[in-house]
Amino acid sequence: MENQLYSEIEVDEKVAQDCGLTLEEYQKILQLLGRKPTYTEIGIFGVMWSEHCSYKNSIKMIKTLPRTGPQLLVSAGEENAGAVDIGNGYAICFKIESHNHPSAVEPFQGAATGVGGILRDIFSMGARPIAVLDSLRFGNINLDKTKFLLKGVVSGIAHYGNCFGVPTVGGEVFFEDCYNDNPLVNVMAVGIVRTDRLAFAKSKGVGNPVCIVGSSTGRDGIHGASLLASQEFTEDSEDMRPTVQVGDPFAEKLLLEATLELIKSGVVVGVQDMGAAGISCSTSEMSARGRTGMKINLNLVPLREPDMTPYEIMLSESQERMLFVFDKNHLDKAIEICKKWDVPIAQIGEVTEDGILHIWKDGKKVAEIEADNLVLGGKAPQYDQLAIEPKYLEELHRFDFSQLNLETINIEESFIKVFSSPNIISKRWVYEQYDHQVRTNTVRIVGDAAVLRLKELPPKGIALTTDCNSRYVFLNPYRGAVIAVAEAARNVACVGAKPIAITNCLNFGNPYNPEVYWTFKQAVIGMGDACRFFDTPVTGGNVSFHNESQNYAIFPTPTIGMLGIIDDVSKICSLDFKNEGDLIYLIGENKNEELGGSEFLKIMFNLVTGNAPTIDLVLEKKLIEFLITSIQKGLITSAHDCSEGGLAICLAEMSVYSNNYGALIELDETPNVGLLFNESQGRVVVTVPEENEQLLVHQLNKYNLPFKKIGVVVKDIFEIKKGFKFDVKFLKDIYFNQLEKILG
């Protein structure tokens, strides 16, 4: 290696720590380089070895997840997004990622650029984005700060998705005090691609040109990955707004069209989104994957701010940029396509064979690093942190529910309070700001998962959902993660889809806290066991640590994004009651178990305690198979997963989404708190026309499922005998208008 390297600033341990590196990591860098790093180099190491980019505290556990399968076209984590073969020469690309810390500091831009980044991950694979889902978590809804963050995040997601032209088709919004300072903004994007047009993030071909395609580079987002996304919040976090990127959805729309045409034309050797860590990440990761190097001239990088230093250019996270390696014999064609779409293109270097990044500015070499030294799977650090079971778990699991005197609780008042909970009521105010019909793929359906038709493969469709009850994970990390996967699978099955694969977004606190790390490990083990059982491999995702502040650590929140396949979108199911006289069946065991982690316990007593509900994966799989078969055969008219809030809330939701149909419910025992509001898993409520009842019972017996006829669909009234009776219109007013009233 040449040793004539230029450094703007003398690097020492203090500079390394300012870049987010530990003293041990700085010593490792000295060993790898055999010399002191330049200032640009220490910045590159800082972002590439950050938690956000290197997964240094999580990768060993992530590798234990099932990450391959017969339908997976790329192994998890190896490309910009996962790709699942759906037959007939097509694949679905999908991925979920977080933009938590930026959204806490600058909610509109943080959320907007979260959408932009995940969309680029999809179309950099050659796939056209067809849907976005979001999983959002905020603090106490009555706090002004929560209302400010919620409005900013929702506006950011709506602005970017609507302007870009992709429908936001589903998701979840959850409120809990632990998210007061640390909202979670997890965004999932989905696209479709012909398998022969999949593009990969590899650099190959000595002498091939390396080009930036898209927007120019500014100072926004510098240290977004290493300092904002990889550290917990302090009193100074409000001063970190400059580390939040600024998005331009109209520029991204043009970048999408140019990228897809470039890939289709055959001129692309490799392509990667320029997201976290900017040029540093894309050059190093593409080089390492292709076992090549790159020679980069930073003077050729289009800048929108004068006098940017090499350090700033390499670390900038300016949005709407992609790094391409083109076939050197067809660069003119690439330039022509970019010109057609009015998308800037600039060659900034070329591919070399030595595996080294050579970075130049103003005729001076400012960095010379082996690409393998920087990346996940190379010489980036990988840690096993100390894991200790939290002391709080034993105390919570021993909680004595008898002290609550639940038998004295008024059932009717309890129902209204739980039904009015911000976690139960409709989030219509949120989703009405999203265009869910753009591109006209969305099947208009009220159900437990979003359904999209695939115009390329009629009559096939896909179902999509995001799920996680973080209270359950807080109370029992292993079981809570198992439930998250099972509920996602159950939700796609409720609309008639077969669960195929997942993507995950693992949101946790400080990994250097042994109790936090124990919950992380247990959750990953639980997720892996459930995915293996359902044969739904993990296609990719991300890890977001350090989600805590001086006041709060979030509940561990491993968000699951599930993809299901539907053979015929004309044979799907929704949750709303359809016909007067349809019979109502509860399928699965109503265990009447304790109320640990339930919405009832939180609303009535402000408690998150006890243990998570038990779960039987064998029963869950049989239930899923039953649902898919019964929906395909047209036996049932509606299906709804019984989850948050319990049986009473499940039935009420089926009423309020219907055309003024309600239910007359008669249970075997006198309704009580445990029966109506426990959140036992593996339960679904279905309706069946009377003429199909015997066929339904035959199917239930065939799958050896527990079941019980509990009522009938009626007009206008929702009644649980010996419990309460309400007008459906009254419940609709609560359900659909409460959130707007709370937000003012």
Neighbours of 45 (CB within 10 A): 29
454 near 461, Cβ under 8 Å? yes
CA angle 302, 346, 118 (to 5 degrees): 80
Residue 413 token pair: 């008042």
d(CA 603, CA 471): 13
Exposed/middle/buried for 659, CB within 10 Å: 0-12, 13-18, 19+? Answer: exposed
Residue 698 known to be catalytic: no
Alpha helices in 504-593 (DSSP H): 514-534
d(CA 185, CA 156): 11
Q: State which amino acid sits at residue 122.
A: I
Residue 546 known to be catalytic: no
Which of 381, 374, 376, 356 is closest to 45 using CA atoms?
374
Element (H, E) at 293: strand 293-297
Q: Give the Å distances, CA to CA, from 455 to 192, 440, 460.
A: 10, 9, 8
Handedness of CA 31, 36, 38, 40 (dihedral sign): positive
Q: Give the Å distances, CA to CA, from 729 to 445, 644, 657, 707, 715.
A: 21, 22, 11, 30, 11
Residue 707 token pair: 């079941």
Query: Cβ contacts of residue 729 below 8 Å, gap of 6+?
Result: 660, 716
Paired sense of beta strands 293-297 and 724-727, if any: unpaired
Distance of CA 691 to the CA centre of its chain: 42
Catalytic site residue from 99, 223, 358, 640: 99
Please compute, for residue 663, the number of CA atoms within 13 A of its CA located in the half-sphere on the CB side: 32
Paired sense of beta strands 128-138 and 168-175, if any: parallel
255 near 121, Cβ under 8 Å? no
Catalytic site residue from 52, 159, 330, 640: 52
Catalytic residues: 52, 99
